Structure 1
Amino acid sequence: MQALEDELKLFIIETLNLEDISAGEIDSHEPLFVDGLGLDSIDALELGVAIQRKYGVRIDARDENVKQHFASVHNLARFIETAREDQ
């Protein structure tokens, strides 16, 4: 899963055009939103759409676990792996 986490870090930087941070500076367990990386709701929407396209997973905004899936890079990687297995 480490490889997917590293890939996601680069993907987040590229997708959201984060110019002042490198993948190495992102802790996989650090929060992505507010504290931590500091992303906002617009970033979440953009990132969610991009993840669905790239990884072929379905993200249901009404799912009560979505917030937890997007809490950190680690959680996001775990969600993607699980969603792929379920397909």
Structure 2
Amino acid sequence: MENFERPAKDAKLEVVQKLTSKYLALERRVEREKYEQEKAKREKDKKEKRNSPSDKYARTTRDVSVAAEKDLKVYLVVANVKLEEVEDNVELKQ
């Protein structure tokens, strides 16, 4: 009796596994399509925003502020090096 039940259970298990894998594949495809749609929407929004005059102004001011910050950092490094040189000279004189 057990010999007849085992193949039936294996067949049921195989069918369940196939259906589960098909369902999971379908679910992954749906998620991927949602992701692609959201990505396309973000790219579209980004392009529209990039072409707006306010964003062009924001980008130029941001670029200027970044450049000014870099210049300031370089100036501070040079000033720090010169300060160290002066301190070394003062220590040598003492």
Band of TM-score, shorter chain = under 0.3
Q: Which has the higher helix share?
A: 2
TM-score (norm 2): 0.18
Larger radius of gyration: 2
Q: Which one has more relative contact order, counting CA pairs under 8 Å at least 6 apart?
A: 1
